[in-house]
Amino acid sequence: MTGKITPFLWFDGNAEEAANFYVSVFENAKIRSVSRYAENSPGPAGTVMTVEFELEGQRFIALNGGPHFTFTPAISFSIDCKTQAEVDTFWERLCEGGQPGQCGWLQDKFGVSWQVVPSVLPELLTSDDDEKSDATLQAMLKMAKLDIETLRAAYDRS
């Protein structure tokens, strides 16, 4: 069964490399199919046109569409992490050749933006106690990779 909405990512000749990278980062992931450009099509015949892949049950399609469009942080994918070990693993792998950002955001080597987020963060940020939520927010604003222990400590101190 496939989802109703599929993210479609535009790459400049490296869609297959990107899909293979993402499949290597996530444990529950696979390449589903690869299609190639035919004769008299927009791309060179025989080169990869699209790669359909799946990460943690979410289907994606990567297209080699050329240099016309690039990624921006205006769109990102958020990864829900139950443990600090998960945060650390996803952060380190996705930052390989990429750029760390602030508050758990990063841009990978292909320019795709990701948020590596501990599952507990929304609970800490939406507490009925505004002081605790603000303390958590202030701690988060000082971080690149999010640290669960530091976020909880900020919450508990206030």
75 in the same domain as 43: no
Q: Are residues 80 and 153 in the same domain?
A: yes
Residue 1: predicted pLDDT:
54
Q: How many residues does the structure list for the chain?
A: 158
Confidence bin at 3 (pLDDT 50/70/90): confident
pLDDT at 16 over 60: yes
Query: What is the tally of structural domains in the chain?
Result: 2
DSSP symbol at 40: T
Same domain, 40 and 62: yes
Q: Do 59 and 135 fall within a single domain?
A: no
Q: How many helices (H) and strands (E) does the chain have?
A: 5, 8
Q: Which of 131, 127, 133, 154 is nearest to 142 (CA)?
A: 154
In a shared domain, residues 78 and 153: yes
- CATH code, domain carrying 153: 3.10.180.10
Alpha helix positions (H), the chain: 15-25, 84-95, 121-125, 130-141, 148-157
Verify that 45 and 105 share a domain, yes or no.
Answer: no
If asked whether residues 17 and 58 sit together in one domain, one would say yes
Same domain, 98 and 151: yes
- Burial-class residue 114 by CB neighbours within 10 Å (0-12, 13-18, 19+): buried
Q: What is the pLDDT of residues 41-76, one digit of tens each?
A: 999 999 999 999 999 999 999 999 999 999 999 999
Write down the pLDDT at residue 60. Answer: 98
Give the domain extent around 129. Answer: 71-158
Do 122 and 108 share a structural domain? Answer: yes
The model's pTM:
0.94
Give the list of residues 6+ apart from residue 90 with CB closer than 8 angstroms, or none: 25, 79, 81, 114, 116
Pair type for strands 76-81 and 113-118: parallel
- Supply the pLDDT for residue 120: 97
User: How many other C-beta atoms are found inside a 10 Å radius of the C-beta of residue 44?
Assistant: 13
Same domain, 2 and 60: yes
State residue 2's pLDDT score: 65
